[in-house]
Amino acid sequence: MEITVQNPINEPTVFNVNLNGEGLLGEPAFTVGPKEVGVYELLFSPLIPMNVEGSIFFESEMTGEFWYKLHLKATPADEIEVPRIKCELGKNSSVPMIIENPTKNQVILK
């Protein structure tokens, strides 16, 4: 999602960004030039289906604070069919799979 942010003053403004909501990813600070409009990129990438509310706050000493209330909805991901695994009794077998982690955090799978 792209959020436009306007800087109404005659000097560059750094906005501190606070994200509230599971699965929201974005930079913690955002700079907009004097009298310019910048575009902040916000990513919603939850690990599970959900329908919740969240928010994003932009704070600057020069221009104050403003925020947006977000309605976040994630539908279940499409199923991925893994090829049938065949193995003799008492032995083991494996099939390589690619699993994408959309977060910046390490995820441990079992």
- Which two tokens mark 21? 């909501």
The model's pTM is 0.73
pLDDT band at 100 (very low <50, low <70, confident <90, very high): confident
Of 35, 108, 48, which Cα lies nearest the Cα of 75?
A: 48
Question: 6-31 pLDDT, tens per residue?
Answer: 999 999 999 999 999 988 999 999 99
CATH topology of domain 2-74: Immunoglobulin-like (2.60.40)
- SS3 letters across 19-82: EECCCEECCCEEEECCCCEEEEECEECCCCCEEEEEEEEEEECCCEEEEEEEEEEECCCCCCCC
